Chains A and B, each alone.
Chain A
Amino acid sequence: MKIKCYGIGSPQYEDQIGWKIVERLKELELNQEIDYVILDRPGMRLIDEFYGYDLCVLFDAVIGVDAGEIVELEDLTIYAQQNLLSSHGFGVAEAVKLAEVLNRLPPKLLFYGVGAGNTRLINQGIESVIQLFLRRIDELV
């Protein structure tokens, strides 16, 4: 099974959560062969990044939940805005939805989000996501 982990975000404050999770996973040197990539607000480019992988795992900061709260999703498409106000709003959910429409989704896709809003809770959120991901990857592989 070809696996790729995506740290999504930007260099701004808590938007780095996805990047930090991927950096931490790389340091762990897991037994499974996993490719890692850090992406700065990829928009539609995310779809090309799925190509050739059986399992794609996205890590990102999220809003709409409590700071530090962990979100695990298998279907992001329900969060896609149908009538975009701007291409600035073309985010991860919209890219996943477009990939689904174009039949370019990987066989399995997982999303882990950490609620932004409190910098002090970032490290706690990162470790929680990693534990959750490691348990899940053991089940899947």
Chain B
Amino acid sequence: MTKTIAINVPAITRVEGEGALSLNIKQGKIENLQLKIYEPPRYFEKFLQGRHYNEVIDIVARICGICPVAYQMSAATAIEDCFNIQVSDWVSQMRQVLYCGEWVESHSLHIHLLALPDYYGYGSAIEMAKDYPQEVTRGMRIQGIGNRLISIFGKRSVHPVGACVGGFYSSPQVEEIKTLLDDLSEGIELANELCDFLLSIDLPKPKQNLFTVGLTDNKSYPILAGLIGSNTGFSCTAQEFEQYFQEFQVPYSTAKQCLFEDKAYLVGPLARLNLNYDFLPDNLKQKIANKMNIPSDNMFESIIARAIEISFAFQHAHQILSEYEETSFPNIEVKPRAGIGYGATEAPRGLLWHRYEIDDDGKIIDCDIIPPTSQNQAHIEQDLRYSLEHFGLDKPQEELRLHAEMVIRNYDPCISCSTHFLNLSINED
């Protein structure tokens, strides 16, 4: 093969936000491959400076309409770390429940609206719904239950406002939780069906060595807390993250990339499943036994990991809420103090790290937010090189383009989240 192929995808479809792919193949080899994120920088880290700590939770929720809870929880835990605050068990548990709602709605949205049409050869979920109405309806119901969970604790499902530093503004009533438990029981059943359905799909099977990073605590499937660990045995605290993980700018993208000691790494549902499989409920472990290898070395099994996490989230929330009691103390008193705080939680798309430097009055001096899509960007490029070569670079251009888009979509990249502050150094003579 001696021809030169240039594939340009000016707007990648069915991802959150706007990005492009540029790919040059020369003499049967990929010569240049760039995932270009061209959404303008959002400057959130800049306009958080000077804000009171209590405003941060509501402002960072606006970074993403799909995963606002993740931003709120990483910010809250970082600010509480700075102020040396320990939240109550009630707050810790209800935060997990709120976060479960977000895993459910975000994963279900990605599976049904964005990813699944790829595996059945449809251009959109609307097209797919004509032939698979039950599956799409089930996905919408699952997402609806996730939204309801967020609404009860967050007071609304999009950009929730119920959480604060130290806990929640109020405690939901027992009666409301009773009806929610019925929904969660239905969700467990529906998620069980979804897992079976996805496990029956004949997914592409390229195998690669995955370097995975996520929260680990050796006792649970972590959502809100833990060490930052990898499948190579590395671990560090959220405070130590910057010593090992380097965020940097590439000239062709407004979103920063992040490497672990110069290596691309994977965060997200498949990374979590590989790292914390042992701590899933037994019924979920049995469900995937003999149907996929753990640790998985197939990125396309991310869609199954998302479904397993939906099941886990429903079960986990149900377990916590089955013993729910209202509290008169949904938050604890917060006294600001100057310092630096760090928070790392598991957003639906993967590890979300925050750092805040705060003064004695509780105002933000400086902050840094590293979202999962920034962390996955280098891995997406690495995966594209590998997957396209495995797919066959001699395939027709249109097939290569569609396959490349499918590889990118599989990461559920949230481009809007990842376009954040660009540091410019201007020298004037």
Task: Assign chain A's interface to a size class.
Answer: 20 to 34
A44-B140, A44-B143, A47-B140 given; A86·B129 CB < 8 A: no
A23-57 residues at the B interface, CB under 8 angstroms? 40-41, 44-45, 47-48
A85 touches B14 (CB 8 A): yes
A101 touches B129 (CB 8 A): yes
- Nearest chain-B residue to A40 (Cβ)? B158
A45 touches B17 (CB 8 A): no
For this complex, 27 residue pairs linking A to B, each with C-beta atoms less than 8 Å apart, are A40-B156, A41-B65, A44-B113, A44-B140, A44-B143, A81-B124, A82-B123, A82-B124, A83-B123, A83-B124, A84-B13, A84-B14, A84-B125, A85-B11, A85-B14, A86-B13, A86-B14, A87-B16, A87-B66, A87-B109, A88-B416, A98-B136, A101-B126, A101-B129, A101-B133, A102-B133, A103-B133
A98-B126, A98-B129 given; A87·B113 CB < 8 A: yes
Partner of A45, one of B15, B16, B130, B147: B147
- Number of B residues with CB within 8 Å of any CB on chain A: 30
How far does the alpha carbon of A90 sit from the alpha carbon of B113 in the complex, in Å? 9
Q: Quick check: is B114 within 8 A (CB to CB) of the other chain?
A: yes
A71-114 residues at the B interface, CB under 8 angstroms? 80-88, 90, 94, 97-98, 101-103
B1-38 residues at the A interface, CB under 8 angstroms? 11, 13-18
Chain A interface main SS type? loop
A51-75 residues at the B interface, CB under 8 angstroms? none
B18 touches A86 (CB 8 A): yes
By a CB distance below 8 angstroms, the chain B residues around A97 are 126
New contact pairs (4) apart from A85-B14, A87-B66, A102-B137, CB-CB < 8 Å: A84-B113, A88-B416, A94-B126, A102-B133
By a CB distance below 8 angstroms, the chain A residues around B15 are 86
How far does the alpha carbon of A41 sit from the alpha carbon of B136 in the complex, in Å? 20
A88 touches B136 (CB 8 A): no
By a CB distance below 8 angstroms, the chain B residues around A101 are 126, 129-130, 133
By a CB distance below 8 angstroms, the chain B residues around A82 are 123-124, 126-127
By a CB distance below 8 angstroms, the chain A residues around B124 are 81-84
By a CB distance below 8 angstroms, the chain A residues around B343 are none
By a CB distance below 8 angstroms, the chain B residues around A41 are 65, 158
How far does the alpha carbon of A83 sit from the alpha carbon of B124 in the complex, in Å? 6
A85 touches B114 (CB 8 A): no
How far does the alpha carbon of A40 sit from the alpha carbon of B65 in the complex, in Å? 11
